[in-house]
Structure 1
Amino acid sequence: MDHNEESRPLLAAEGGERRAEDRSGRDSYLDKVKNGKLYLATFAAVLGPLSFGFVLGYSSPAIPDLCRISDSRLQLNIEEASWFGSVVTIGAALGGLLGGWVVDKIGRKLSLMLCSLPLIFGFTIIIAAQNHWMLYVGRVLTGLASGLISLVVPLYISETAHERVRGTLGSCVQLMVVTGIMGAYIGGLFLDWRWLAIVCSIPPTLMLLFMCFMPETPRFLLCQGKRREAEDALRFLRGPDFPAEWECARIEEEGSVSLADLKDPGVYKPLVVGIMMMFFQQFTGINAIMFYAETIFDQAHFGRSDVATVIVAATQVFFTFIATLVMDRAGRKLLLILSGVTMTISEAAFGVYFKLSSVKHGNSSDHNETFGSQEPFGEEPQPGLEWLALACMALFIAGFAMGWGPTPWLVMSEIFSTKVRGLGSALCVLINWSCAFIVTKTFQSLMDLITRAGTFWLFSCLCALNVVFTIFFVPETKGKTLEEIQAHFKGLPAG
């Protein structure tokens, strides 16, 4: 027998003993951690996603207002309303691309503080708008900040949290996004578009103030060679009595990335997984549905579309909160599969609803004016059938909130090594928002081309594909350190 073959069982046994010792030491360390200030830092950071949610939700109540406004300089027609809803995604794609460079140059904390400025300026321009271009510029600026936020906040949380609470805290990102969307919808019931923009500018102002008192992430400080500052940050986040040197020793300091690193499975595998997850998240149709939620219910003959969108948003908040509670118990993969199956069924049923309601209707022109559809609705659907639209929408949102809403952002923040985290996350965010722009901008044209029913059936098929992708390609990251996740992609034993 070859000497190397004889030594493999011994090396495996030694590796297993080391991993057991590491886990024992890690558990002993985690038992001593005090999470109070970690939760405070997370709260300060997730004011960014709350602001991001207000940006996403703002267009749904604002577009009907701006379509009905008497001032011809600001009144939006069908095409202009489409741009107002979707142009934010262009800014977000640019923000994601810029964010990869920013987070590596100035750090996670300063990047978060920087995000608040275009949010505040963007909403200020919308508030003071005198023409369409001011509205568009304001939306692009708030989109730019949203792209930065969607990249920076998951990184900040993943690099400050430990593995026992990383899933729960990472899920808070999406929880705050949907809370912001619901806040914008509720505000739209009582406020016009200018006052709603004023309310939307409050969360980024608070984020700027709170983040002044929070630490930079220990991983970024170690990568900058600032070990003492990293230890101070860890004592702030874990409590004053914990062994900061022990955790610093666990964090691998890695060099800068080069093209040659793309051959490394620890680089290209997580990059492919991250990009595909962002693609599938957007091609569930979520942003098209949320951007135009109120108008979708108008088309579905629902009497109070503004109230219906608030109900849907509340459903999203509730189920995202549930996902936050179970993320570190159920695991990422199981929630993604359940989420994908639920969305597949709900969007298929939504397509059935639109198919049943696509007969001649005398008042269809009112709906067509609002949303620009050329497809006639037809006669009034059977009594009570309009509630099928609300049920399908609520089921879809519940499914999305349980898995494909929070989990791709959480997994993105976990799977990249330190040296490629900025670049990898930037590419994922760029793909995400580019796909969001494609979906939101083409949503109405797609409904005109293949009908409303066909559009939702198409999204249903794509949701079925994301279930297959999850089963075969997405790793489970529950309870693993960031180093153990990297070892999985490299095909090495975790330890």
Structure 2
Amino acid sequence: MKIVELISSRFLQIVAALSASMAFTLTGLGVGWTAPTIPKLLAEDSPIPMTADESSWMVAMLSVGSVAGVIPLAYFSNVMGRKSILIFSAIPGIAAWLIIIFTASVEALYVARFLIGVEVAVTFAITPIYLTEISEVKIRGILSSVVQLFYNIGALFEFSMGPYVSYTTLGISSAVFPVAFLLVMVWMPESPYFLLLKGRGSDAERSLMRLRGKTDRQHVQEELTEIRKIVDESLKMGTAPVRDLFMKRGNRRPLILILSLVMLQQFCGQLAIVSYTTQILQRSASSIDAHISVIISGGIQTVASVAMSSVVDRVGRKPLILSSTVGVGVSTLGLALYFYLESKTDVDLSTVDWIPITCLVAYVSLFSLSLGVLPFTIMGEIFLPNVKGLAASLALLVHSASGIVVTKLFQIMTDSTGADSPFWLFSAYCFISAVFISWYLPETKGKTFAEIHELFNADSYPIKVNKMSRLK
């Protein structure tokens, strides 16, 4: 009964969160598309013949597009609004799939991947901000964490369809998703935080009433007053110049944190591993068909993201991210050791040929547990409204630049020093990051934006456990 009442009283809030999260399905499609497609493009009967080096640049162009797309976001996020930018993000996605469907050159694929990267930039920077700003504190974590599920659905679609349909059919099927997202998102309410930032108080009140399922204005006044305090403080500070992110400790500390987390997302190898999943499994001596293994991996990843959504507001952000980081480190260590023994020793691995798929399934499951989405959820929680767009843009710039480095480095290291070499790097980075997270990451579960801002402005940081208890 409580679940029914919860859903009915917050129906539009949940629908808006799910609609915005569909943007991550588009991201999952773009990232996952390369896994089944690259082997086809490298084959003798390729619809668009290309070399291994060209395929690695095709993968990397997504991150190049993200770098280019992130540059105007700091400005437009506080001018156009969160909802409007999310709607706009579908346009480059639609254009990209049309290029994939109707063109037949490597250069055209570079352009398509670049446009998908622009879409990814908007999705990763704006969706978490929109979700945290429309959600109540008590369910903010679970609504924000749903994006990982939607991302995995997109990737699983590509993994499942790609090996068994033609190159063109896969492109047509994928193009349906951004069109559907655009048609759904246009009906959703704008963030009340953004509306207050623009001085549209009555619109903000109506938006909040719709999101909370209330018809009586008095029921939303308390929350609206709290939001107004945050926004007023942000407006008094004015539009933050870039230097404020580094000079003011209330901004600098969360910036250090979020840049570290987004770099971890890339240097744990996620983009490279998802993009080259089929090839990674084809290199192993596993007796399991690579395409079937990829589908199994994607399916388990999707289930894991559902599990994460159910525990994020009970367990908290910090323990989930820490356990996910350590688990991903162990998984990449297993892959590194297997490929080392297979390629550089005479050890017979026929009895343990299940190790690559097991490690890969563990990797994607543990990444989905929190590392895939919670850094962006935290990014939406720890910055004041006047610097959110700027901070998100800088974080995504670092995230995208790291993605370019990792995807190219993966191919170069694999070809020059062996299939094991990039996995040693990924594993080492995870373990080093785990130490940093255990020391520097605070717990934001259940805290309002004001409480989180106070935490980062404390005289000493990282804040001690006994001081955190007094802030609750």
TM-score, normalised by the number of residues in structure 2: 0.91
Correspondence for 1:264: 248
2:104 alignment partner, SS class: coil
The answer to whether the aligner puts 1:136 opposite 2:103 as a matched pair is no
2:446 is the counterpart of 1:461: no
Return the letter of the residue paired with 2:351: G
1:68 CA drift (Å): 2.1
Greater CA deviation, 139-148 or 188-197? Answer: 188-197
| Residue 429 (structure 1) aligns with | 396
Give the secondary-structure state (helix, strand or coil) at the position aligned to 1:384: helix
Counterpart contact for 1:97–1:429, Cα < 8 Å? no
SS in 2 for 1:480: coil
Distance 2:425 2:256 in 1: 23
Q: Report the CA distance between 1:320 and its aligned residue.
A: 1.4
For the 8 Å contact 2:26–2:154, the answer to whether it is kept is yes
Aligned twin of 1:59:
34
Q: CA separation in 1, counterparts of 2:378 and 2:252?
A: 15
Report SS of the residue matched to 2:137.
Answer: coil
Give the equivalent residue in structure 2 for 1:343: 328
Return the letter of the residue paired with 2:226. R
8 Å contact kept, 1:284–1:462 = yes
| The 10-residue stretch of structure 1 (55-64 or 254-263) with the greater mean CA deviation from structure 2 | 254-263
C-alpha deviation, 1:494, in angstroms: 4.6
Contact 1:343 1:460 in 2 (8 A): yes
Aligned to 2:77: 103
How far the C-alpha of 1:219 sits from its partner, in A, is 0.1
Whether contact under 8 Å (1:175, 1:406) holds in the other structure is no
Equivalent-residue separation in structure 2 for 1:294 and 1:188 (angstroms): 11
Matches within 5 A, 1:69-218: 70=45, 74-218=48-192
State the distance in 1 between where 2:423 and 2:193 align.
43
Q: How far apart are the structure 2 equivalents of 1:182 and 1:380?
A: 34
Q: Which amino acid aligns with 2:315?
A: A
Matches within 5 A, 1:281-300: 281-300=265-284
**Counterpart for residue 318 of structure 1:** 303
Within 5 Å, give how 1:412-491 maps onto structure 2. Answer: 412-491=379-458
Following the alignment from structure 2 to structure 1, what is the Cα–Cα distance between the partners of residues 110 and 416? 27
Q: CA deviation at 1:237?
A: 0.3
- In 1: Cα distance, 2:149 partner to 2:75 partner: 26
Structure 1 runs, 4 residues or longer, greater than 6 Å off: 30-33
- Among candidates 207, 227, 244, match of residue 220 of structure 2: 244
Aligned partners of 1:389, 1:142: CA distance in 2, in Å?
A: 29
2:312 equivalent to 1:327: yes
Letter of the 1:208 counterpart? L
1:32 Cα offset (Å): 12
Partners of 1:299 and 1:381 in 2: CA distance: 16
What is the CA distance between 1:33 and its match in structure 2?
A: 9.0
For 1:456, what is the secondary structure of its paired residue?
helix
What letter is aligned with 1:44? Answer: S
The change in CA–CA distance for 1:246 and 1:309 in structure 2 (over 3 A counts) is same
Provide, for residues 159-199 of structure 1, a one-character-per-residue CA deviation record: whole Å limited to 9, x for no partner. 00011111101111111111111111001132122211111
Between the aligned partners of 2:46 and 2:417, the Cα distance in structure 1 is 35
The answer as to whether partners of 1:107 and 1:220 remain within 8 angstroms in 2 is yes
1:373 maps to what in 2? none
TM-score norm. by structure 1 comes to 0.87
Q: Distance in 2 between matches of 1:32 and 1:171?
A: 17
Q: 1:109 to 1:69 in 2, by over 3 A?
A: farther
Look up the equivalent residue of 2:449 and give its one-letter code. Answer: L
Residue equivalent to 1:368: none
Question: Match for 1:283: what amino acid?
Answer: F
- Aligned equivalents of 1:270, 1:137: Cα separation in 2: 34
CA shift for structure 1 position 346: 1.5
The amino acid that maps onto 1:249 is T
Q: Distance in 2 between matches of 1:264 and 1:79?
A: 43
SS of corresponding position for 1:214: coil
Q: CA deviation at 1:381?
A: 4.3
Per-residue Cα deviation, 1:237-294 (whole angstroms, up to 9, x for no partner):
0012352322221012222213356432111111111111101111101111000000
How many correspondences in the alignment? Answer: 447
Q: Quote the residue 1:375 is aligned against.
A: none
Kindly indicate whether the alpha-carbon contact (under 8 Å) linking 2:67 and 2:400 is maintained by their aligned counterparts in 1.
yes
Equivalent position of 1:357 in the other structure: 342
The unaligned stretches of length 5 or more in structure 1 are 1-29, 360-377
- Return the alpha-carbon distance in structure 1 between the equivalents of residues 354 and 198 of structure 2: 56
- Contact 1:112 / 1:152 at 8 angstroms: preserved in 2? yes
Shift of residue 70, structure 1, vs aligned partner: 3.6
Partners of 2:259 and 2:30 lie apart in 1 by 23
Q: 1:260 to 1:307 in 2, by over 3 A?
A: closer
